[in-house]
Chain A
């Protein structure tokens, strides 16, 4: 059981993004972060992922009862976001080998499901943006993380890709804590709860 507890998180750059956001998300739960453009959805996701620090408030991470230091959170998270890219000068097979040491049967099954198997030996810089997104999703899921952070996961993907993505999210939702930052109502609707940054309401 992995739990993320956020207490009164606030963040501002030159203007206030959001303030006093509190929520808890555990394994088997999912939460969507919604709000208009510029409301801080990606920033809140970065704070949850310990990529960016909040101005006020704190985020705590627990693996069962053990507190996890913020510096070690990356070991437990899979992140799909526009600001995280796989190595474009490597093939998908080489990226998988780099991250996991070997291309396992699980990896082959997943990349087949994401319709990337026939492209696995092409360098990623030859991929379309939709294929790159699928590659990023594959890399994050192959880690089998207890926490999955998704920032606009369906962006640039076709209808087939989105359908597969939603199916996979449903399948892993029982053993994963999922946080999705999105403007897409379909992506938000696969989550059990949502945080609206325009109103700071957790529903």
Chain B
């Protein structure tokens, strides 16, 4: 399975760097939205909870663009070509890896840019960083399987958003609450939140791995 994974990852990365669709979408969305919110708020936002909500809304919508890696396979009729050589399981794990990498990059770009633009002080940088990484991992796992379903259904916008919302809600709730605490000068432990996010990601990842072959072959 390892060669199959590596070849699929190399293929996705190579195609992405040539087309630059996802990279352009994400970078422009991250930067434009973060800077726009910074200008629009005019430094008036003081509540850590509001900062946390805004931060994760930007990360969430920036990360949504990574679903293009599935749409491209369906739109360009390459999904069956890929299946002729590799198992659906290896295709899923490769896509999950690419999606996680994109989400990590998004959360790091937005996480740093937001602090700079909005002039937010982080009192618990380790907790903040761990929330960005574990939160983006959970979002990536959620959106990978949903993007596959939406791509196969050839419903780019509506279905993806509708399916994403209830599945990502527990993740978003936990990361917003814990990230807000990292903006406060009070002692707290993010351990339980990290544990929840890792457990959620693992469970959904396993379920997605089992379901993906049935989803991906129904086109």
* A binding-site residues for B, Cβ under 8 Å: 51, 71, 74, 77-79, 83-90, 94, 97-101, 123, 139-140, 143
State the CA gap A89–B76 with chains docked (Å): 10
Contacts A74-B83, A78-B84, A143-B85; A90 near B77 (Cβ below 8 A): no
Stretch at the interface among B13-21, B60-68, B203-211: B13-21
Within 8 A of A (CB), among B1-42: 3, 7-8, 10-11, 14-15, 18-19
Within 8 A of A (CB), among B198-219: 213, 217
Across the interface, B78 reaches (CB within 8 A) one of A77, A79, A87, A100, namely A87
Determine the chain B residues whose CB is within 8 A of the CB of A74 once the complex forms.
Answer: 83-84
In the complex, the answer to whether B18 meets A89 with C-beta atoms within 8 Å is yes
Contacts A89-B18, A90-B11, A90-B15; A84 near B3 (Cβ below 8 A): no
Instruction: Indicate the size class of the contact surface on chain B.
Output: 10 to 19
Contacts A85-B77, A101-B3; A79 near B84 (Cβ below 8 A): yes
Across the interface, A90 reaches (CB within 8 A) one of B8, B14, B83, namely B14
What's the minimum C-beta distance from B5 to chain A, rounded to whole angstroms?
A: 12
Across the interface, A51 reaches (CB within 8 A) one of B3, B10, B19, B80, namely B80
What's the minimum C-beta distance from A164 to chain B, rounded to whole angstroms?
A: 22
In the complex, the answer to whether B11 meets A85 with C-beta atoms within 8 Å is no
Give 9 closest A-B pairs by Cβ, nearest first: A85-B77, A89-B15, A99-B85, A84-B80, A89-B18, A98-B11, A84-B81, A74-B83, A98-B7
State the CA gap A37–B123 with chains docked (Å): 69
* Chief secondary structure at chain A's binding surface: mixed
What's the minimum C-beta distance from B95 to chain A, rounded to whole angstroms?
A: 14
Residue of B nearest to A85 (CB): B77
In the complex, the answer to whether A87 meets B84 with C-beta atoms within 8 Å is no
In the complex, the answer to whether A71 meets B11 with C-beta atoms within 8 Å is no
State the CA gap A84–B3 with chains docked (Å): 23
What's the minimum C-beta distance from A6 to chain B, rounded to whole angstroms?
A: 19
Across the interface, A86 reaches (CB within 8 A) one of B14, B19, B78, namely B78
State the CA gap A86–B80 with chains docked (Å): 9
Across the interface, B77 reaches (CB within 8 A) one of A84, A99, A140, namely A84
In the complex, the answer to whether B81 meets A139 with C-beta atoms within 8 Å is yes
Q: List 19 A-B contacts (CB under 8 A).
A: A71-B213, A74-B84, A78-B84, A79-B80, A79-B84, A83-B80, A84-B80, A84-B81, A85-B81, A86-B78, A87-B11, A87-B15, A90-B11, A94-B14, A98-B11, A98-B85, A99-B85, A100-B85, A140-B84
Determine the chain B residues whose CB is within 8 A of the CB of A94 once the complex forms.
Answer: 11, 14
What's the minimum C-beta distance from B77 to chain A, rounded to whole angstroms?
A: 4
In the complex, the answer to whether B217 meets A71 with C-beta atoms within 8 Å is yes
State the CA gap A64–B27 with chains docked (Å): 54
Residue of B nearest to A53 (CB): B218
Residue of A nearest to B15 (CB): A89
Determine the chain A residues whose CB is within 8 A of the CB of B19 once the complex forms.
Answer: 89
State the CA gap A185–B88 with chains docked (Å): 37
Across the interface, B76 reaches (CB within 8 A) one of A88, A140, A143, namely A88
Give the interface centre of A74, A77, A83, A143 by most chain B CB atoms within 10 Å: A74
Determine the chain B residues whose CB is within 8 A of the CB of A78 once the complex forms.
Answer: 84
State the CA gap A51–B83 with chains docked (Å): 10
A interface footprint on B65-108 (CB within 8 Å = 1, 0 otherwise): 00000000000111011011100000000000000000000000
Determine the chain A residues whose CB is within 8 A of the CB of B217 once the complex forms.
Answer: 51, 71
In the complex, the answer to whether B81 meets A86 with C-beta atoms within 8 Å is yes
Determine the chain B residues whose CB is within 8 A of the CB of A98 once the complex forms.
Answer: 7-8, 10-11, 85
State the CA gap A140–B217 with chains docked (Å): 19
In the complex, the answer to whether A84 meets B14 with C-beta atoms within 8 Å is no
In the complex, the answer to whether B84 meets A85 with C-beta atoms within 8 Å is no
